[in-house]
Amino acid sequence: MIDPVLLRENPDLIKASQEARGDSVELVDEALAADSERRAAIALFEQLRSEQNVFSKKVGRAAPEEKKALLAEVQELSARVKAASAAAGEAEARFTTAIRAIGNPIIDGVPAGGEDNFVTLRTHGDTPAFDFEPRDHLELGELLGAIDMARGAKVSGARFYFLKGIGARLEIALMNMALDRALSAGFTPLITPTLVRPEIMDGTGFLGEHSDEIYYLPADDLYLTGTSEVALAGYHSDEILDLSAEPLRYAGWSTCYRREAGSGGKDTRGIIRVHQFNKLEMFAYVLPENAEAEHDRLVALQEDMLQALGLSYRVIDVAAGDLGSSAARKFDIEAWVPTQGAYRELTSTSNCTTYQARRLDIRYRTDSGKTTPVATLNGTLATTRWIVAILETHQQADGSVIVPEALRPYLGGLEKMEPLQR
């Protein structure tokens, strides 16, 4: 949720943000109107209620013979208080609905427009060249006995898979490598619940326009999380944090579930886009003034990881229309996938500023003792999808795949993944 004071004092800034996102600009005026109606309704109710309270005390103290007359007098006031209270409640609800529909005001410099209007901040590494016809990740995965899509479909349906043998080990190795790096960067590891209550899912902002992406279990009224960001954000909900010494940084390890509704026909081959995968997610609670520096820090950790794995990538500044409502800025890192001749997203790092924290009521105390929302950030440090880029980038003519040096300690020193013998 955006800051209501900012809405009141600087509506033009929010309008400009809505414009850049391609969202409704009128919504800002609607929210402003709802705000003033709400305040008028509250003022009326509070004044009447105050009168009633005074009167009520008088009744309590009155002699029995006086009570009857006083009661007759106050009954009508009581009815008006009730009506004013209901009106104030409704006005409040209208305002909340309006303001919650407004996206997080984007940070200066975020490119306007939609999915294709991103800005490339930098690229790293040459795109790998092969003197043979490179195989795609699924062909390699099958040669190595690492990926079994057919049995995944048999057991669970399309977009499910088995990671087997070296495939299973590779994913665990990646996750462990990421965890080690997160640990040395000061993150606290956290294995999170993957089923969450509605108010947590709603608080993180995922129940908006993308709610059909989310698995829901009606019998239990619980949602399956598409990222541990949800549980990590909910972890400190309704709390007042002490961030004076340093930020709170967590590394969440969890399986992620996504319905992939609306992506029909896209990336149907292999494990690029699947219903279930594993992810190590970084999450930080920081003072709002430190959010942008923390954002850069998260991206740097991601780049270190990708470089250690010998992947070629580019870092993009995602355009406003592609941010999602909670993020004020988002940096994606996309790795080169040789057989696609394209960069594909491996990480996503969002600065949600105070937007998410305001919805989840996560605050800290300022020097003056006032409570105010913290800033939250999240970013990927490893996911199952990385296997795609690793296999394709480091493949050899015979179908074997060189293990990047940094990953070898996590695979018992293994230097090369070899195709299975037939």
Partner RNA sequence: GGAACCGUCGCAUAGUUCGGCCUAGUGCACCACCCUGCUAAGGUGGAGUACCCUUUACAGGGUACCGUGGGUUCAAAUCCCACCGGUUCCGCCA
How many residues of this chain interact with RNA, rule: CB under 7 A? 27
For residue 288 the two structure tokens come to 């709002």
Cβ–Cβ under 8 Å, residues 318 and 21: no
Cβ–Cβ under 8 Å, residues 147 and 171: no
Beta-carbon contacts of 153 under 8 Å, excluding residues fewer than 6 positions away, are 160
- Angle between the 166-184 and 386-393 helix axes, to the nearest 10 degrees? 110
Shortest approach of RNA to residue 50 CB, angstroms?
A: 4
Cβ–Cβ under 8 Å, residues 321 and 113: yes
60 binds RNA (CB under 7 A): yes
The reply to whether 345 belongs to the active site is yes
Residue 61 or 122 having the CB closest to RNA: 61
With residue 73 as reference, give the H or E element that holds it: helix 64-100
Among 159, 181, 295, 363, which residue interacts with RNA (rule: CB under 7 A)? Answer: 363
- Give the integer Cα–Cα distance in Å for 254 and 263: 23
Residue 6 or 420 having the CB closest to RNA: 6
Shortest approach of RNA to residue 70 CB, angstroms?
A: 8
Q: Within 13 A of 199's CA, how many CA atoms are on the CB side?
A: 6
Shortest approach of RNA to residue 111 CB, angstroms?
A: 32
- Give the integer Cα–Cα distance in Å for 343 and 122: 13
- Give the integer Cα–Cα distance in Å for 317 and 225: 25
Task: Give the active site residue among 345, 365, 400, 418.
Answer: 345
39 binds RNA (CB under 7 A): yes
288 binds RNA (CB under 7 A): no
Residue 120 marked in a binding site: no
156 binds RNA (CB under 7 A): no
Burial of 402 (0-12, 13-18, 19+ CB in 10 A): middle
Task: Give the active site residue among 21, 249, 258, 363.
Answer: 258
Q: Which residue from 360, 82, 96, 318 is spatially nearest to 202, judged by alpha carbons?
A: 360
200 binds RNA (CB under 7 A): no
Among 109, 264, 265, 369, which residue interacts with RNA (rule: CB under 7 A)? Answer: 369
Q: Report the number of secondary-structure helices (H) and strands (E) in the chain.
A: 12, 18
The reply to whether 269 belongs to the active site is no
The one segment of 19-27, 69-77, 343-351, 398-406 that binds RNA by CB under 7 A: 69-77
- Strands of 83-191, DSSP E: 119-124, 147-148, 162-163, 188-191
The reply to whether 151 belongs to the active site is no
Residue 281 marked in a binding site: yes
Shortest approach of RNA to residue 140 CB, angstroms?
A: 34
81 binds RNA (CB under 7 A): yes
Among 13, 27, 32, 74, which residue interacts with RNA (rule: CB under 7 A)? Answer: 74
Binding residues: 227-229, 258-260, 274, 281, 345-348, 380
> Active-site residue numbers?
258, 273, 345, 348, 385
Binding residues for L-serine: 227-229, 281, 380
**Binding residues for RNA (CB under 7 A):** 4, 39, 42-43, 45-47, 49-50, 52-53, 55-57, 59-60, 71, 74-75, 78, 81, 89, 240, 363, 369-371
